[in-house]
């Protein structure tokens, strides 16, 4: 059977557009049931609060409830594995943080490969850090602190909110770049570490600026430098670590991911809605109140950030000889 040329072209065009129509229909139909946003931290912390803000925004935009499900444990690995093994249909989302990039090399055996098994959807915010000391420490600047640490090798306690946390690896990176020897003291969370830093049980720590800004203003702690590449508006007179150790740049960051194999049109829909949240004045204001800086990026740029951070922290983990217990 032969077709007239015009009829053939019409049929060919229809065949070509059919997949696009199907993809569009799937995107419009999504989601068909409640969506779970899996968070690897306990309820009540800043990260959990941010996740619930994003969850509520998505609930309103998607027309289905987005339920935040806290699955703490194993430095977010429990939550990540749960998402990596879930159905790739866009109904299970992962709250991604810098911990995911650190864990990739810190843990020798994981039930997933983060880079391979989780698809980046959208970046959200970063939390700038500050290197701070108990006022009893005589150093008032980074150069003075480095000199003090070199004069007292192994006698300065570096607190962190736990093995492999951002506060820990940020400290290890500082030790490597400054060439100083400090004793790492891990805590079960930032709150007890901060308490001991204020009381003088430990001498130095790197924490998100929001966790300690009030203590800094009250003189209970002394800020030596912020950990980001540029100074922060909230403490404009505090220099960056990079002003003394070029290349030092550390912050926690967050975003959303989905299991590998999630349809591209669903990922694009989620990206569109989350990106819209970062343009909303109310969301912007609330994030700012929580001390978080928006980091809107394309999906490709967010993927590059994750890849770059994974490589960066792998070098620190190896150089410092870190291993998860």
pLDDT digits 0-9 by tens, 139-170: 999 999 999 999 999 999 999 999 999 999 99
Which of 212, 243, 274 is at the close of a domain? 243
Residue 20 has a pLDDT of: 46
**Are 146 and 180 in contact, with CB atoms under 8 Å apart?**
yes
Number of domains in the chain: 2
- 248 assigned to some structural domain: no
CATH of the domain at 177: 3.40.190.10
Range of the domain at 149: 128-243
Do residues 150 and 203 share a domain?
Answer: yes
Do residues 145 and 226 share a domain?
Answer: yes
Which of 243, 263, 290 is at the close of a domain? 243
Do residues 61 and 112 share a domain?
Answer: yes
Which pTM does this prediction carry? 0.87
Do residues 132 and 223 share a domain?
Answer: yes
Which of 243, 268, 287 is at the close of a domain? 243
Burial of 36 (0-12, 13-18, 19+ CB in 10 A): buried
For the chain, residues with pLDDT lower than 50 are 1, 3, 18, 20-21
Do residues 210 and 142 share a domain?
Answer: yes
* CA geometry: angle 95, 99, 104, nearest 5 deg: 110
Do residues 263 and 225 share a domain?
Answer: no
Residue 210 has a pLDDT of: 86
Residue 7 has a pLDDT of: 62
CATH of the domain at 292: 3.40.190.150
Bond from prior residue into 71 cis (ω within 30 degrees of 0): no
**Assign residue 271 a region: left if phi > 0, alpha if psi is -120 to 50, beta otherwise?**
alpha
Residue 3 has a pLDDT of: 47
Taking all residues of the chain, what is their mean pLDDT, rounded to a whole number?
Answer: 92
**Integer Cα distance of 325 and 315 in angstroms:** 19
């Amino acid at each position: 059977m032969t077709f007239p040329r015009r009829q053939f072209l019409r049929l060919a065009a229809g065949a070509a557009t059919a997949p696009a129509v199907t993809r569009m229909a799937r995107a419009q139909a999504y989601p068909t049931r409640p969506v779970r946003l899996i968070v690897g931290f306990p309820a009540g912390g800043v990260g959990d609060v941010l996740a619930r803000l994003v969850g509520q925004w998505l609930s309103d935009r998607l027309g289905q409830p987005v339920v935040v499900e806290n699955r703490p444990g194993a430095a977010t690995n429990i939550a990540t594995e749960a998402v990596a093994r879930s159905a790739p249909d866009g109904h299970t989302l992962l709250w991604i943080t810098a911990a995911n990039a650190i864990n990739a090399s810190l843990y020798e055996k994981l039930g997933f490969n983060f880079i391979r098994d989780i698809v980046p959807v959208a970046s959200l915010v970063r939390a700038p850090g500050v290197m701070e000391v108990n006022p009893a420490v005589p150093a008032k600047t980074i150069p003075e602190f480095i000199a003090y640490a070199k004069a007292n090798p192994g006698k300065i306690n570096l607190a962190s909110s736990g093995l492999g946390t951002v506060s820990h690896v940020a400290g290890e990176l500082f030790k490597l770049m400054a060439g100083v020897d400090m004793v790492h003291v891990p805590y079960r969370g930032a709150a007890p570490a901060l308490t001991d830093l204020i009381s003088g049980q430990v001498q130095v720590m790197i924490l998100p600026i929001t966790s300690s800004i009030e203590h800094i203003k009250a003189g209970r702690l002394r800020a030596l430098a912020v950990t980001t590449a540029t100074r922060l508006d909230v403490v404009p007179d505090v220099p960056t670590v990079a002003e003394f150790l070029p290349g030092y740049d550390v912050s926690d960051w967050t975003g959303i991911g989905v299991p590998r194999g999630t349809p591209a049109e669903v990922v694009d829909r989620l990206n569109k809605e989350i990106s819209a949240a970062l343009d909303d004045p109310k969301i912007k204001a609330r994030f700012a109140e929580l001390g978080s800086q928006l980091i809107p990026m394309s999906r490709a740029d967010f993927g590059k950030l994750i890849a770059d951070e994974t490589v960066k922290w792998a070098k620190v983990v190896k150089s410092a000889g870190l291993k998860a217990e």
